[in-house]
Amino acid sequence: MDFFKLKQHKTDVKTEIVAGFTTFMAMLYIIPVNAYILSTTGMPYGALVTATIAMTIFATIVNGLWANTPIAMSVGMGLNAYFSFGLVKGMGIPWQNALGIVFVSGVLYILISITPVRKWLIETIPLDIKRAVSAGIGAFIALIALEQTKMIVASDATLVTLGNLKDGNVLLALFGLALAIFFTLKKYRGAFILSIFFTSVAAWSLGLAPLPKEFISLPASMAPIAFELHISSVFTLSIFPIVLIFLFTDLFDTLGTLAGVGMRAKLFEAEEGSKALQKTIEADAMATMVSGLAGVTSTTAFIESAAGVEEGGKTGLTAVTVGLLFLLPLFFLPLFEAIPSNAIYPVLIVIGIMMFSELQHIDYADEATKYATFFIVLGMPLTYSITNGLLLGALIYLFVNIVRGKTKEISAAMLILAIAGLLIFFLL
């Protein structure tokens, strides 16, 4: 395993495989969720399941082998909803044309990735802003998990409110959360896997989740959606802003994820870390372009990679493990579907807590950092977008420094992020 430089990264095969399995379990939800969202456009659900799995395998393994980082990649949440409800159902754009938009934005992404631009953006963002991004992603992960487990629910009066804690499925999630915290505090290896396993057993035993009726299923064909994109329709003035939205959103989603997860694992420090960062960016860009050909929306680095990082994953062997494990749902989907979501999401709450702890290191004496941190950390969960939180923070960071007459302290990267925020929020 010298290919992955395990000794140099102070890790071993067992740790990397455990980390890969943990990330796999944490992001397994993307298969049914993405397939459902995109199927609202009229695309066949079965083909979308296969395409989602195929792109996850491709993107994650390419990153593991090329960049040697533990970052898993899959079809990004957010853009898939914009694709379905904004473009196809909202604007009446055929899904074939919308896939063309995804492909063209991926080509532009590659052009950016082969230059130092994106790496430079991440490396020149102030350290405390990176810490705020990590905390914001933690809050975002926790919100997703709390919502999916029904621990919090929608409210017309207060937007959100406490869920019904007497409900059996909510109690199951609380049980899973207690196990995840317990195993973590006791520093058990594979703490998250243990909590998922025992929570699933409890769900099956109590009848809260059905056991699979069958164990093996053949994968559906991707033929109905693969290579069905229409590119010629993209090259019009009215479509160009949409291409930019896809490009910017994918770019800054991954920027935020890499900054946050990378901060926790110290992945991108020193000269070797800088090279790994650039290669991770290149892998993401390549996968984004291929996703349009495969029939799904843009891939991105997944925040759930933090689950594997917290289990000790440091190299591409973690990512390769994730990719290989995603072969299983192709043939054993009924078995994996039997794992209740409320056994998986409690792990994300604990991950959110761990990432949120980065706030303790921020220097709040700096006014610009203080205000930017507030908008980043609350902006990500409240707008349900890593991109929005990051860009809101950049805008307030720029504004505060201008008001205080400290324009020289504004790094070029923060200035570019603020300008991007102005374009995306007010012009595009």
pLDDT surpassing 60 at residue 1? no
Q: Give me the DSSP letters along 244-301.
A: HHHHHHHHHHHHHHHHHHHHHHTTT-HHHHHHHHHHHHHHHHHHHHHHHHHTS--EEE
Amino acid type, 405: G
pLDDT surpassing 90 at residue 322? yes
Q: Burial-class residue 157 by CB neighbours within 10 Å (0-12, 13-18, 19+).
A: exposed
> What is the pLDDT confidence band of residue 122, given thresholds at 50, 70 and 90?
low
Quick one: tokens of 425?
């929020």
Quick one: tokens of 168?
């059996």
Strand partners, 160: 154
pTM above 0.85, yes or no: no
Out of 103-112, 124-133, 185-194, 224-233, pick the least confident. 185-194
Q: Is 16 helix (H, G, I), strand (E, B) or coil?
A: helix
* 153-188 tens-digit pLDDT: 999 999 999 999 999 999 999 999 999 999 989 987
| Averaged pLDDT score across all residues of the chain | 87
* 38-69 tens-digit pLDDT: 988 999 988 999 999 999 999 999 999 999 99
Per-residue pLDDT, 118: 66
Per-residue pLDDT, 26: 83
Answer whether 222's CB lies under 8 Å from 55's CB. Answer: no
82 or 320, which is more confident: 320
Q: Where are the alpha helices (DSSP H) in 68-159?
A: 79-81, 89-91, 95-113, 117-123, 127-148
Report the percentage of the chain scoring pLDDT > 90.
45
Half-sphere exposure of 211 (CA within 13 A, CB side): 6
Q: Determine how β-strand 73-75 pairs with β-strand 299-301.
A: antiparallel
**Whole-angstrom distance, CA of residue 177 vs CA of residue 383:** 25
SS (H, E, C) 216-235: CCCCCCCCCCCCCCCCHHHC
Quick one: tokens of 339?
């794992």
Per-residue pLDDT, 262: 74
Q: Where are the domains of the chain?
A: 2-213+230-351, 364-428
* 373-398 tens-digit pLDDT: 999 999 988 988 777 888 899 999 99
Q: Give me the DSSP letters along 150-217.
A: TSEEEETTTEEEE--TTSHHHHHHHHHHHHHHHHHHTT-TTHHHHHHHHHHHHHHHHTSSPPPS-S--
**Whole-angstrom distance, CA of residue 174 vs CA of residue 8:** 39
pLDDT surpassing 80 at residue 120? no
Answer whether 379's CB lies under 8 Å from 354's CB. Answer: no
Per-residue pLDDT, 273: 64
Per-residue pLDDT, 351: 84
Per-residue pLDDT, 43: 95
pLDDT surpassing 90 at residue 137? no
SS (H, E, C) 69-84: CCCCEEECCCHHHHHH
Per-residue pLDDT, 336: 66
Out of 26-30, 117-121, 297-301, 370-374, pick the least confident. 117-121
* 209-226 tens-digit pLDDT: 888 778 788 898 999 999
Per-residue pLDDT, 270: 64
* 283-309 tens-digit pLDDT: 999 999 999 999 999 998 988 898 898
Strand partners, 154: 160
* 231-277 tens-digit pLDDT: 988 888 778 778 877 887 777 777 777 777 776 667 776 666 678 88
Quick one: tokens of 311?
């289990």
Answer whether 280's CB lies under 8 Å from 67's CB. Answer: yes
Per-residue pLDDT, 58: 97
**Whole-angstrom distance, CA of residue 139 vs CA of residue 381:** 6
